[in-house]
Amino acid sequence: MSLSTQDVEKVARLARLAMTPAEIETARAQLSGIFGLIEEMQAVDTKGIAPMSHAQDVAQRLREDKVTETNQREAFQAIAPQVEGGLYLVPQVIE
């Protein structure tokens, strides 16, 4: 299976990536290569094998429900591009 330019443009838009036509072509070729690998893998018979959701065969460790974090707003906001009244400011988004 080979990806179209439109497929790449759509994925780029979803990821909010601005790409030039040349970059789109490069990405298209690379992603198509990955799809080639997936096709090879899909050819393998996996009947009776449970799907894997993580590369490591261990279970999630759990954390006790206790507050461990303190307020570090000042430190975090010192590196933010724009803040006001404790809020992080971003270009206006209105649905």
Least separation in angstroms between CB 55 and another protein: 8
User: Minimum distance between the CB of residue 69 and another protein, rounded to whole angstroms?
Assistant: 4
Contact predicate 35/1, CB 8 Å: yes
Among 1, 43, 44, 62, contact with another protein (rule: CB under 8 A): 62
Q: Which residue has the tokens 């690998």?
A: 37
23 lines the binding site for another protein (CB under 8 A): no
| Least Å from the CB of residue 57 to another protein | 9
The answer to whether 14 and 39 are in contact (CB under 8 A) is: no
Distance CA 7, CA 13 (A): 10
> For another protein, which is the closer residue by CB, 40 or 65?
65
Q: Tell me the CA distances in angstroms from 70 to 20, 50, 64, 87, one per residue in order.
A: 43, 42, 16, 18
42 binds another protein (CB under 8 A): no
Q: Tell me which residues touch another protein (CB under 8 A).
A: 10, 13-16, 53-56, 58-69, 71-73, 76-77, 82, 84-95
